[in-house]
Structure 1
């Protein structure tokens, strides 16, 4: 694997599954041997969000170009056009999966495009001498500012003010999306949201309160005397731009008020809940947490992405920016849940040691950032196991991904000494089944693990993952693991 245009390939002989009665590390009675592991299917190495999109996203580019003959510059130009269209569609699908209300967090999209780029590089490099680079162009992307309170709290500012301004008319033109859930409201006081124009006398007010009988009421009022009252009954009450969700009450957000306008909360101490409000334009940060360390917070979201693409072969060099990529809503399909996504940037908190082992995190040998290192001179079923168990009983497939490196320091594991490494899952009988066995490797070799498990014994309420060695004769017989992802997929 190389940095920059990083690629990682496994030779075909190292993608085979062990069958029969090969020995492996033991714990809780050791792994159960089977004659048939055909239910374990290898798929392309994908990131969390890319796993959500399915294999089609990762290999979309290959589909676009597989029929183009290699005829020098003309063929290479056709390849480039195919990759441009493929990256546009894949980015749109990625935004659709990651996003909420037509937008996606900038950092989230940037990170997932980085992972997508690495996987795409593997696909391209596997077929011909070519280089491809995909990255988010944040400067050219169309963004909104998202004001967020994700935990049910009082509707106060970050400094505790109950009456405060969320949006300043001098900086923002309008609210592009609005979602709020009121989980609690006082018996005798109102919570109000006000939109007021500073260029006209127009204003609009949304109020939530309880009537004399204790029922929850949603009321809208305008400067021209218009009013609408809707008795919802009980909480929670969920609101969006068009009315009460599921409540049969409708309104138009900021009806009659042309932007730019000021958006304020009044009586924030009288109600509790959550909200996500997207604003077109800049937002004053004095009342918000700019780094997400407190609530409410402010983050930049992308509504239309610009993506830079570089594609180079011996025959052609293309550098372009793909503009105006909007989220593509995912089609009805499988329900996908990320059970584990650990790059070990925060340490080993999601794992527990098993056996006599020395484990720690470091950044010298890693896929990106930090990685977990499994060391020590006693290798008998020693390593790491997920601290939590996962309920996979509702799924039809479980996909497991990881990056693994054999050694890399002054000393290292030796395959000729029978020093092997295993990625395993716990089945419904408590035995450990091999997802991948590393019994053929060279010093410092890197591997990408990507497997889809469909064996019925993997679907139960005590699923776990472990990373173990069977043997080690030196303290520095190290194995390094990074980018561990476990995704459950329920097929409708």
Structure 2
């Protein structure tokens, strides 16, 4: 059983204790999008339930972090299943005490964020194939990034190297480049990071560009790791959101990428179908049934992605 699955089981199992005692109003990393009283009851009744809701919403955020992990693909389905398990456990506990019943479901249309990806190795060009496909804007006005992964399979020689640049609202910038170096054959493909501070160039990983010893260079730009190795300085250490993210010399490296964020994915870079909704901040519909009231809320659940 992987660590994420163990974490989910521990969280859901802990509901049996957490639901019984609501003596303290817990801090909830969430924001109510909609409120509605659907049967009898009053606003005062709902407010008196704030401690219960805060605890539930805090659990929803922890559950989202556990189910997301480092895996972009299938998060919506995994989180939806986790919410079902959480709801069943919650309601089994309260069934014998006449407490508050809960229903929690993922609301994808109200969630915030989009994703784009290239799943087959190739030049990292503008998905729209615009007039300058090698120089393109990945996203701008980016306030939150959930997934920022590149896998580089090959570098191409001559001229300026492939480059991803993140520019922050504070005027600082951070860049990652893929270049070829060495005098032998094959040359090495090398990932180097640099930023607006002078003399900041740091090679972070390298591999032969071809041949039996060649390895793909798998970069997580959020955690600052290459092939699960030691960490390096990331864009969030240097810059401040909102970010603008650009690719230049897309023809100088082959690879794949996954990117999910809250921001503007410009039409100059993407056609319809090049991006899809992705719950960077998931919206969850919650319904509470008590002896005196039944009410619902849609909340945005904050997820700690670091």
State the shift of 1:221 in Å.
4.3
CA contact (8 A) 1:137 1:308 kept: no
State the shift of 1:288 in Å.
3.9
Matches for 1:71-470 after TM superposition, within 5 Å: 84=53, 87-88=56-57, 90-100=59-69, 107-108=76-77, 111-112=80-81, 115-116=84-85, 119=88, 123=92, 127=96, 131-136=101-106, 143-160=112-129, 161-168=133-140, 171-173=141-143, 175=145, 178-188=148-158, 190-196=161-167, 203-213=173-183, 214-222=187-195, 226-230=199-203, 232-234=205-207, 235-239=215-219, 240-241=221-222, 243-245=224-226, 250-253=232-235, 258-285=240-267, 287-288=269-270, 291=273, 297-303=275-281, 307-313=285-291, 316-317=292-293, 319=295, 321=297, 325-327=301-303
Question: Hey, which of these two has a bigger chunk of helix by percent?
Answer: 2
Deviations 1:44-79 (A, max 9, x none): xxxxx9897238616725763399xxxxxxxx99x9
Distance in 2, matches of 1:114 and 1:243, equals 30
Distance in 2, matches of 1:87 and 1:138, equals 19
Q: Aligned pairs, how many?
A: 264
TM-score normalised according to structure 2 size:
0.61
Deviations 1:110-140 (A, max 9, x none): 7336634763586368547775432446688
DSSP 3-state at the match of 2:201? strand
- Structure possessing the higher radius of gyration over alpha carbons: 1
CA contact (8 A) 2:155 2:252 kept: yes
Pair 1:136–1:323, CA change in 2 (3 A): same
Answering whether residue 23 of structure 2 is matched by residue 64 of structure 1, we say no
CA contact (8 A) 1:105 1:300 kept: no
CA contact (8 A) 1:166 1:265 kept: yes
State the shift of 1:271 in Å.
1.8
Gaps of at least 5 residues in structure 1 are 1-48, 68-75, 330-492
Gaps of at least 5 residues in structure 2 are 23-44, 208-214
Distance in 1, matches of 2:51 and 2:231, equals 48
TM-score normalised according to structure 1 size:
0.42
Pair 1:103–1:92, CA change in 2 (3 A): farther
Greater relative contact order structure (CA < 8 Å, 6+ sep): 2
Pair 1:311–1:59, CA change in 2 (3 A): farther
Distance in 1, matches of 2:20 and 2:231, equals 51
What is the RMSD computed on CA atoms of the aligned residues? 4.8
